[in-house]
Amino acid sequence: MPSATAVNKHRPSELLSRLASDDPEVKVRALREVKNQIIGNPTKKLSFLKLGAVPAVAGILADSIDEVTNNNNCNSNTSNILVQSAAALGSFACGFDAGVQAVLDAGAFPNLLRLLANPNEKVADAGARALRMIYQSKLAPKYDFLQQKNMEFLISLLNSEKENVSGLGASIITRSCETSLEQKALFDAGILRKLNSLLGGGSLSQRDASLESLATIFRNNPEVISKFAGPEIGRPLSSIIDLVKDRHPRTRLLACMCLIVIRNASPHFLQDIGIKSKIIHILLELLDDPSQVGDEAPFAFSSLIAQKEDLQKLALEANAIDKLYHHLKKGSLHPRRYEGILLALADMCSKLESCRSKFLSLQVLNLVADALTDHNAGVRTAACVCLKNVTRSIKNLSAGYFMNEIIVIPLVQLFPDPSTSVQGFRWQEKSERPDTFPLLDAVAALGAVSNIMVDFTTRKSIFVQCGGMKQLVQLAKSMESAVRSNALWALKNFVFQADNRLKEGVFSELTASLLSSLISDPEPSVQEQALALVRNLVDGCINLIELVFAEDGLILGAIGRQLQCASKAEIGIQGMYALCNVASGNEFHKEAVIQQLFTQMGDKNQSFVIKFLQSNDCQLRTATVWTIVNLTCPSSPGAPGRLEKLRNAGIISQIKNMVNDPCVDVKLRVRTVLGQSMAFGDN
């Protein structure tokens, strides 16, 4: 059993006191002990950070460098101190952002750079290793490659024969290159040629670093990709394709990711179905890898198939959903892997009904429902996205698979506290605390709920009973436009084809004043969803149409004002359909609508109605003509007077010019209007 003295010797506080020793050997041993204790141990790193270990180690590094500079001599003791202090700082930074920040705050970064020029290879290598650890993090300092001195520094790193130094150069590119101008500058400087040479002739570490940097330089830049793939550099794409078969899992993953970036930016490359199938199979195989490679593989898979039906079909044929489900069933997944698998399933189900059917046949839905209550925010958000995509199927919605307590209650629980929403809900970092509800959770949950609310069954009462409807109304008051818009979207779908009692219940919670203010919201997306909600609310009996006349017609007036200054076609479409539904009512309702069409003209010569009829958007033209149909119905006593107003405003003349409209729906409604007009003697 170790003595108390031996135990105390290894305590963080004791180690820190030994770092201050004047004896170089004691100092080196203490630095080595600090490094060994914190490697791969975030808890130990944190405890050392709290004691101020990083500034202490950074101070030792700075003093030793100054000593070398002043004496123009680097003896073995000083070299050992430099190596161990750099190694300790690198260990603090490795995979630990708090450690990276502490190293940067302590001013160690420029001193680590100075080590690269040290004639002692071990010292230079230790500095390069530490800097590479820093450049694993997004917190690493960025270089502006448009500045000549930075480009020259980068080239000197990449040209180094030292593995860690050239690898550092590649890592700097990965963290620093952000603009198309920088991407082009790197290509023009010959950087891609150098990186390509490292793919074939470099070490494993250099290959992997080069693949990451190439992907960064290619991202969203088809021009650079075309130049890279041209004859100037040789056969670089073949080099990357060959690496997807490498025996090292990380290299295979990075090669796949690089090819995915190329294809996403330039779809005409990598059209060969064999290559695409190979990438899919490799990424699915990498899910079995127990390391970080397996955690990242599903994200790469998602990036490959997102919004691409052809690749989703290939993935379905490769049994991707079965394999993802198999991993999900295992349980006890790392949060990153758990999140990635859910997002991969979400992308698989984003387009194809066959994929959604496969998803439901395997009963993956139950596992996704479990993920809604996971302690990790990323997992919960991914589960919501998955549900949102699966519920895009009208067939499955009408079958009632989703409107049940297992799905609905956890989704409602992901809504932020209404009082927080009203006061102002801000974008937050993802939190691992189960009692925290980030905005990402809320928006993702609202997206899933919006689709589920289209469910045509009578089970919408479940959502009301668990408090979901009232919470949506409160979220419509959020200070965040994304929350307001998504809450209104969900309410719009909730009242779609709902019974009168449910619609009246929603309206009583919303109130006319709130709805009118949302119609006039500064955000166009909120305006559109608020108008769509009104459209669905008044779609039905006369009593429902009366809702827009509450509080002296606040809602109807807001619709008219918004249509006059509509910033995009979608707002006009929803507003005109809302008026169309109101105009389907009695004489009082029709007269109120015609008043809105002309009251909003002011001193202008042209009504917004003519602008809408001349729009390039066929849906907007359809909604506008349909409104005119309802206003001029021959069975309505006031139709002749309204027709006269429309004729005097030039609207009927414009409609006559639309008899050959390219849109069939518009053409049919136009003929109806003209037929009704002729019934009153118009030629």
Query: Which single residue is written with the structure tokens 């004639």?
Result: 119
Q: Which amino acid is at 211?
A: L
Q: Please, are residues 668 and 628 in contact by the beta-carbon 8 Å criterion? A: no
- For residue 609, which of 644, 578, 635, 646 has the smallest C-alpha distance? 646
The predicted pLDDT at position 153 comes to 96
- Which one has a higher pLDDT value, 457 or 326? 326
Radius of gyration of the chain (CA): 32
Angle formed at CA 252 by CA 248 and CA 258, multiple of 5 degrees: 145
d(CA 296, CA 299): 5
DSSP per-residue codes, 61-97? HHHHHHHHHHHT---HHHHHHHHHHHHHHHHHHTT-H
DSSP code string of 346-363? HHHTSS-HHHHHHHHHTT
Report CA 34 to chain centroid distance, whole Å.
39
Of the chain, the percentage scoring pLDDT greater than 90 comes to 75
Alpha carbons within 13 A on the beta-carbon side of 286: 34
Please state which of the ranges 306-320, 578-592, 593-607 shows the lowest mean pLDDT: 593-607
Asked whether the predicted pLDDT for residue 3 surpasses 70, the reply is: no
Residues 6+ apart with CB under 8 A from 305: 280, 311, 312, 315, 344, 347, 348
Strand residue runs (E) in 232-306: none
The pLDDT of 310-314, averaged and rounded, is 97
pLDDT at 15 over 80: yes
pLDDT digits (tens, 9 = 90+) for 146-176: 999 999 999 999 999 899 999 999 999 999 9
Which is nearest to 240 in space by CA: 287, 192, 293, 304?
192
pLDDT of the residue at 606:
67
Name the band, by pLDDT with cuts 50, 70 and 90, for residue 600: low
Q: What is the pLDDT of residue 462?
A: 85
Cβ within 8 Å of residue 216, ≥6 positions away: 173, 174, 177
C-alpha to C-alpha distance for 515 and 506, rounded to whole angstroms: 11
CB atoms within 10 A of CB 46: 14
14: confidence class by pLDDT, cuts 50, 70, 90 = confident
526 close to 484: Cβ distance less than 8 angstroms? yes
Ordered DSSP codes for 524-562: HHHHHHHHHHHHHHTSSSHHHHGGGGHHHHHHHHHHHHH
423 pLDDT higher than 70: no
Tell me the pLDDT tens digit for each residue of 473-494.
Answer: 999 999 999 999 999 999 999 9
Of 213, 196, 312, 218, residue with least CA distance to 265: 218
Q: Which pLDDT value is given to residue 421?
A: 31
Statement: residue 2 has pLDDT above 60: no
Chain-centroid distance, C-alpha 526: 20
In this predicted structure, the answer to whether residue 347 has a pLDDT above a threshold of 60 is yes
- pLDDT category, 461, cuts 50, 70, 90? confident
Task: Tell me which of 93-102, 324-333, 423-432 is least confident.
Answer: 423-432
| C-alpha to C-alpha distance for 15 and 201, rounded to whole angstroms | 43
**pLDDT of 257 over the 60 cut:** yes
CA distance 343 to 159: 40
Rounded average pLDDT over 212-235: 85
pLDDT digit string (tens) for 30-64? 999 999 999 989 999 999 999 999 999 999 999 99
Query: What is the average pLDDT value for the chain, to the nearest integer?
Result: 89
pLDDT of residue 601: 56
Higher pLDDT, 429 or 413: 413
**Distant-in-sequence, close-in-space partners of 539: CB < 8 Å, separation ≥ 6:** 581
Enter the tokens of residue 248.
Answer: 């090292």
- Could you tell me which residues come within 8 angstroms of residue 507 by beta carbon, excluding any fewer than 6 positions away? 515, 537, 547, 550
CA nearest to 338, candidates 329, 326, 328, 347 = 328
> What is the rounded distance in angstroms from the CA atom of residue 591 to the CA atom of residue 597?
10
Query: Measuring CA to CA, which residue among 682, 669, 610 is closest to residue 640?
Result: 682
**CA dist., res. 574 & res. 198, Å (int):** 57
**Separation between Cα atoms, residue 183 and residue 219, nearest integer Å:** 9
Contact 580, 626 (CB under 8 A): yes
The whole-number pLDDT of residue 431 equals 33
Q: Would you state the pLDDT for residue 454?
A: 80
Q: In this structure, what is the dihedral angle of CA atoms 98, 103, 105, 110, given to the nearest 10 degrees?
A: -150
DSSP one-letter string for 38-63: HTT-HHHHHHHHHTTHHHHHHHHHHH
CA distance 594 to 638: 11
Type of residue at 220 = N
Instruction: Give residue 10's pLDDT.
Output: 61
* CA 470 – CA 474 distance, rounded (Å): 6
The pLDDT of residue 452: 86
Q: Which pLDDT score, from 0 to 100, does residue 444 have?
A: 83
- CA 570, distance to chain mean position in Å, is 23
Average pLDDT estimate for 268-296: 94
pLDDT at res. 420: 39
Residue 96 predicted with pLDDT over 80: yes
- Measured in degrees and rounded to the nearest 5, phi and psi for residue 647 equal -65, -45
C-alpha span between 64 and 77 (Å, rounded): 10
CB 202 within 8 A of CB 166: yes
